[in-house]
Structure 1
Amino acid sequence: MTPAARRTPPSQHAPELRAAARHLGRRRFLTVTGAAAALAFATNLPTAGAAAAAELDAGKLTDDPFTLGVASGDPRPGSVLLWTRLAPAPYQPDSGLPARRVTVHWELAHDDRFRRTVRRGTATAHPEFHHAVHVEVEHLDADRVYYFRFRAGDWTSETGRTRTAPASRSKVAGLSFAAVSCQAYHDGYFTAYRHLADEDVDVVFHLGDYIYEYAVNSAGGARAYTDRTLPDLFNRETVTLEDYRLRYALYKSDPDLRAAHAAHPFVVTWDDHEAENNYAGAIDEQGGPPEEFLLRRAGAYRAYWENQPLRRAQLPQGPDAQLYRRLDWGTLSQFDILDTRQYRSDQAYGDVAHVPGPETLDPARTITGGTQERWLIDGWRRSRALWNVVPQQVVFSQREFDLNPVSKVSMDAWDGYAASRARVLAGAESAGVENLMILTGDVHVGYAFDIKRDFDDPGSRTVGTEIVATSITSGRNGSEKPANWNTYMTANPHLKFYNGRRGYVTVSLTREAARSDFKTVDAVTTPGAALTTAASFTTEAGRPGLNPS
């Protein structure tokens, strides 16, 4: 892991992919077929030959092609993104379809019975994109709920519910959203998603770890299936494009996840497990050759885009994709969605818990990359929003692990990139951000932090709040008070809440306050657990800090 390797810019990744083809014998994914497929990512568009290839007669589809459900995402004032992927046999590499184009019809209406249709059209499901469909519907009314569905041949998908954002300068009174993260299939049932599907929220933010690269055995891990057996092709780590595509098929075939996607538009960002645990930029977990990991990352990013409700602007170019982006909800809130994986410096001190030191304090190290950091701060300076919300991946606030005079902290979180955090907080202050809220996932517990100007001084000014959503399943059932609960609460006086159960967070924003509700289930290794509100906090507009509700 040389310094040059850590700082490889995206523009240099294409030569590294070409170099990867010369390492065909090193790991399983470096096969002739895998390398050729990865190198074909250069344009990420169907080739001219494919565009002219024969089209599959959708009328000959004998099995339901909508086994992975429907989804929508990234709502804008006059536009929304609609998604589905055709997969009559989702657990097969080809999803049960030949390498031919399929015409898919879509419909958008004011009502769920489609008596008042407002838009309809067709889209092509290309085999190059694994027969995924992304429809960007434009010229819609702002701040309005819509219903949508797809049709291929004689098959009609389930109905999805979505919405557009309010007009950019409208003085919106309120907004409700949910934050979710970390849904290891092998750790349990997606019960929390079934509850989320029934919530009255405008949008859901997924903060990363949508899939996990780890093997899933024939019994589904902790799900311990007795009435079904998963194919052996899931019982291996994901490293190739085919592996990642199949893993999304496994996850998206879950009925609870499908229900949540059908009920609400999602805004997604990735963390590490969508590619590999704790990777940093072009550096994999074990510090292998960057050119090899970039080949794997290209497949991971491609499969992510194919299986998420993302717009064309997020379409990967080889191993690179601009996932950070900005959404507005009138003048009530601005959402700056970050990517803290793709551009970060390698973790300090071997990526093990460590006391702060020269590496963590090095101003040359970054968790966002310089371009994204400037984009974030410049966006704050131009913001007209009352609330500035930052959906991102890893814990932002200082989190001390022990009661020693100098405590160990995480090298994978913002604690391992202290200079990055200091620049971001200074940028928020210089931009006049008064109501900063950071949304976080990753750690499989629920936290509520006051963000301090100086975390080492408990009396320092509070400059924002951080809401950490626990996992949907990762970590299995968890506990209300993990073993380190007393230590963490004592070592971190700015930590106002800590809970180790599974679930999600809902947030209601108004012009007066933000209310955050931490919702948990007591078990995920058995289905059907009830939902409980573990704690609620209110933050008054103009007065940062968490107050129990």
Structure 2
Amino acid sequence: MNNKFIETNEESLAALVKKGLKPADHELADSKTPAFKDNPFKLGVASGDPLSDSVVLWTRLAPEPLAEDGLGGMPNRKVPVQWEVAEDQNFRYVVKQGLSLALPELAHSVHVELDGLEPKRYYYYRFKVGSEFSPVGRTKTAPPVGASIPSLSFAVASCQAWYHGYYTAYKHMTAEELDFVLFSGDYIYEYAINSNNLVRPVRLSNAHNVKTVTLDQYRLRYSLFKTDPDLQAAHAAFPWVLTWDDHEVENNYADEDSQYGAFTYQFLQQRADAYQAYYENLPLRSTAIPDGPDMRMYRKLTYGDLAEFNVLDTRQYRDDYSSVIVSGPEANVRLDPDRTILGDEQEQWLINNLRNSQATWNVLAQQVVMAEIDRDTGSGESYSMDQWDGFVADRERIFSAFKEYKVQNPVVLSADIHRHVAANLKEDFKDPDSASIGTEFVATSIASDKDGSETDGYGPVWLGNDHVKLYNAQRGYVRCHVTPEEWRTDHLIVPYITSPGAPIRTRASFVVRNGNPELQEVSTETNVKNEKTHV
């Protein structure tokens, strides 16, 4: 990206983070613990990006999370924060401890990048400010790279519009035994919150009834969403691996192009503010510290010799489009060989990873649907430019890499559409008899679009594509259990979220065998195979 954004901070965010992680003696002397009006840990704790010897710990001080200036009721001063990591939840066997500074320039967030940990084991962590302790979090390191491991379990979540309902799915997820949670985008939404979309029985100030475009507004929006106790519990229960989609900035943005007509310089400032708030509020490594409107989110995580996760960013580098849905001759624009959803650098990085991978399962953890979805159920063709269908040449280059480098068992994990979908990735989507070269599982939303339903008006459209084997429009998440022999994905749903307390059940389950990318639906404890609706 070539932009003219000018960094106006006196110190870069990277320098500020370094100052917070390794404060000098004089900086500690200048810091002071304030007298808090209330518990400063109201936004909870979190961990993320687990490696075999390392993990990131996070918290943010906010005794008044909904203070309208976005600063959480914190004074404009550096605050010393103690942290400790133990082998047990009672902290009898502390293995790491230290002191960081929560800086006002970073909304008093703390990111502790631990190293020297043992692989494939649980740790407990907590923070302390003055006499106040945070909740206790539990995290887990990854196994050694290349190590033979028998299994891996994780969940995929996305799209959590807090105002559309309760995070009941997280309550159920927290009861699972998982190695980590993959979050695939739309952690917040930028829309104004008011009586037109607010389901929860709460009263919010007018500060929430605005579209978020400034740093203080983004900070307040994260605070609002993160006050949810079920979201906090899920963060405290597992390490998270996060990537973003569009709503962390604004709907359907593409690189430096706003969908709402903002000038480029205005949108780049908005993007810089959005990216800073994203970093401040999530357990991300220092490699993700934003530099103005730029932030490196794509990265690789490896779980022994079992699975390699390529975490992608399909939003920051993509080409724009003039229409979301294209049909007829207009659809030819999507075939332009120069169109990209990844950008050249990220695409080459991904192809190099695929070429060199020795893992049994090779995962693309990303945002938007990769499978071709023709939305014209008749003789014509119609496609979404916002998904990989708008970037056909890019998709074909990835598929070609699958074949050329004999990539073992490609699996694509997606989100964005607030629907559960399972699909075969075809060598030729126009030919139902062509070979499958991979599989795709799309996780529905945690809360976005309210309760949802078993199917909807889009169901016949999606299922009209022969390679699509599941379409469900309810809320929930995806659970994956992976062994050297097979990959099992369970699509879990809750019947409602507009009131609390919904049960959860498995809507459908699919197995992919090592060496055979064809989806195989399996029966579940709820006999959902017989319930499946093919419209």
Check conservation: 1:447, 1:468, Cα contact below 8 A.
yes
| Residue 287 (structure 2) pairs with residue 298 (structure 1) | no
Distance 1:450 1:41 in 2: 49
Q: Which amino acid aligns with 1:424?
A: I
CA drift of 1:16 comes to 3.4
1:63 aligned residue (16, 19, 38) = 38
1:281-322 C-alpha deviation (Å, 9 max, x unpaired)? 000013432121111000000000000110000000000011
Q: Deviations over 1:23-79 (max 9, x none)?
A: xxxxxxxxxxxxx5xx55755433999986774532633421100000000000000
- Alignment equivalent of 2:469, drawn from 493, 496, 504: 496
Superposed CA RMSD: 1.9
Counterparts of 1:85 and 1:231, CA distance in 2: 22
Equivalence for 1:45: 15
Query: Is residue 2:486 matched to residue 1:513?
Result: yes
Say which SS state the counterpart of residue 519 (structure 1) adopts: strand
Q: Distance in 2 between matches of 1:43 and 1:206?
A: 24
Establish whether residue 378 from structure 1 lines up as the match of residue 352 from structure 2. Answer: yes
Q: Is the aligned partner of 1:73 residue 2:48?
A: yes
* C-alpha contact (below 8 Å) 1:17/1:294 kept by paired residues: no
Kindly state the Cα deviation for residue 185 of structure 1 after the two structures are TM-superposed: 1.2
C-alpha distance in 1 between matches for 2:189 and 2:13? 27
Q: What is the CA-CA distance between 1:170 and the residue it aligns to?
A: 0.5
2: distance between equivalents of 1:59 and 1:100?
9
Q: Cα distance, 1:412 vs. partner? A: 0.2
Q: Does 1:543 align with 2:516?
A: yes
Partner Cα separation in structure 2 for residue 313 and residue 83 of structure 1: 15
Q: What code does the residue aligned with 2:132 have?
A: W
Tell me what 1:524 maps to: 497
Deviation, structure 1 residue 181: 0.5
For 1:366, give the aligned amino acid.
T
| Counterpart in the other structure of 1:223 | 199
Q: Deviations over 1:410-464 (max 9, x none)?
A: 1100001111100111112112112011000100000000010111110111011
On the 8 A contact 2:157/2:181 being kept in 1, the answer is yes
Task: Give 3-state SS (helix, strand or coil) of 2:391's partner.
Answer: helix
How far off its partner does 1:223 sit? Answer: 2.5
Matched, 1:83 2:58: yes
CA deviations over 1:178-232 (Å, ceiling 9, x no partner): 0000011111111111111111111100000000000122x6944341xx42222
Instruction: Please tell me the residue identity of whatever aligns with 1:243.
Output: Q
AA at the equivalent of 1:388: N
Give the AA of the match of 2:476. G
Q: Is 2:221 the partner of 1:247?
A: yes
TM value normalised by structure 2: 0.93
* In structure 1, C-alpha distance between the alignment counterparts of 2:121 and 2:502, rounded to whole Å: 33
Q: 8 Å contact 1:397–1:449 — kept in the other structure?
A: yes
Amino acid at match of 1:46: L
Q: Is the contact between residue 44 and residue 318 of structure 1 (CA under 8 Å) also seen in structure 2?
A: no
* Matched residue type, 2:78: R
| Residue type at the aligned position of 2:61 | L
Instruction: Tell me the equivalent position of 1:96.
Output: 73
What is the match of residue 417 of structure 1? Answer: 391
Of 114-123 and 39-48, more deviation after overlay is shown by: 39-48
Q: How far apart in 1 are the matches of 2:143 and 2:204?
A: 43
1:472 equivalent to 2:472? Answer no
In 2 relative to 1, CA 16–60 (structure 1 residues): closer, same or farther, beyond 3 Å? Answer: closer
Q: Which moved more, 1:479-488 or 1:174-183?
A: 479-488
User: What amino acid sits opposite 1:505 in the alignment?
Assistant: V
Contact 2:362 / 2:409 at 8 angstroms: preserved in 1? yes
Larger mean Cα displacement after TM superposition, 285-294 or 298-307? 285-294
Which range moves more in the overlay, 119-128 or 283-292? 283-292
Q: How far does residue 400 in structure 1 lie from its aligned partner after superposition?
A: 1.5
Do the aligned partners of 2:78 and 2:103 also contact (CA within 8 Å) in 1? yes
* 1:91 counterpart SS class: coil
Deviating more after overlay: 439-448 vs 404-413: 404-413
* 1:175 counterpart = 2:145: no
SS of residue in 1 equivalent to 2:248: coil
Q: Indicate conservation of the 8 Å contact 2:226/2:232, yes or no.
A: yes
1:401 aligns with 2:375: yes
SS of equivalent residue, structure 1 residue 141? coil
Corresponding position of 1:368: 342
AA partner of residue 15 (structure 2): L
Distance 1:482 1:64, change over 3 A: same
C-alpha contact (below 8 Å) 1:213/1:275 kept by paired residues: yes
Answer whether contact 2:34 2:79 (CA < 8 A) is retained: no
Paired letter, 2:354: W
1:194 is paired with a residue of what secondary structure? helix
Aligned with 1:151 (options 112, 123, 128): 128
Map of 2:532 onto structure 1: none
- In the alignment, the residues of structure 2 paired with residue 539 and residue 425 of structure 1 have an alpha-carbon distance, to the nearest angstrom, of 18
Partner of 2:431: 457
Give the Cα–Cα distance (whole angstroms) in 1 for the partners of residues 326 and 62 of structure 2: 43
- Per-residue deviation, residues 243-276 of structure 1 (Å, max 9, x unmatched): 0000000011111100100111100000000000
In structure 1, the partner of 2:530 is none
Residue pair 2:14, 2:286 contacting (<8 A) in 1 also = no
- Whether contact under 8 Å (1:169, 1:331) holds in the other structure is yes
Does 2:114 align with 1:114? Answer: no
Instruction: Find the counterpart in structure 2 of residue 198 from structure 1.
Output: 175
8 A contact 1:328–1:335 mirrored in 2: yes
Asked if 2 retains the 8 angstrom alpha-carbon contact of 1:353 and 1:411, the reply is yes
The alpha-carbon distance between structure 1 residues 47 and 400, as it changes in their structure 2 partners (threshold 3 A), is closer
TM-score scaled by structure 1? 0.91
How many residue pairs get matched?
A: 514
Q: Secondary structure of the residue that 2:301 maps to in structure 1?
A: strand
1:452-493 deviations in Å (ceiling 9; x for gaps)? 011111011101110000000111111011123223212x10
Residues 145 and 161, structure 1, Cα contact 8 Å, conserved in 2: yes
The equivalent of 2:525 in structure 1 is none
Amino acid at match of 1:179: V
Q: Is 1:41–1:317's contact at 8 Å kept on the other side of the alignment? A: no
Q: Confirm whether residue 288 of structure 1 aligns to residue 262 of structure 2.
A: yes
In structure 1, distance between residues paired with 2:39 and 2:220: 18
Secondary structure of the residue that 1:466 maps to in structure 2? strand
Q: Structure 1 counterpart of 2:95, which letter?
A: V
| Equivalent residue in structure 2 for 1:16, among 5, 16, 19 | 5
The letter for the 1-side match of 2:439 is: T
Letter in 1 for 2:214: T
Counterpart selection for 2:366 from 392, 395, 414: 392
SS across alignment from 1:511: coil
Secondary structure of residue in 2 paired with 1:121: strand
1:185 aligned residue: 162
Cα distance in 1 for residues equivalent to 2:349 and 2:393: 17
Is residue 181–residue 210 contact of structure 1 (8 Å, CA) maintained in 2? Answer: yes
What residue is the counterpart of 1:439 in the other structure?
Answer: 413
Unaligned runs of 5+ in 2: 523-535
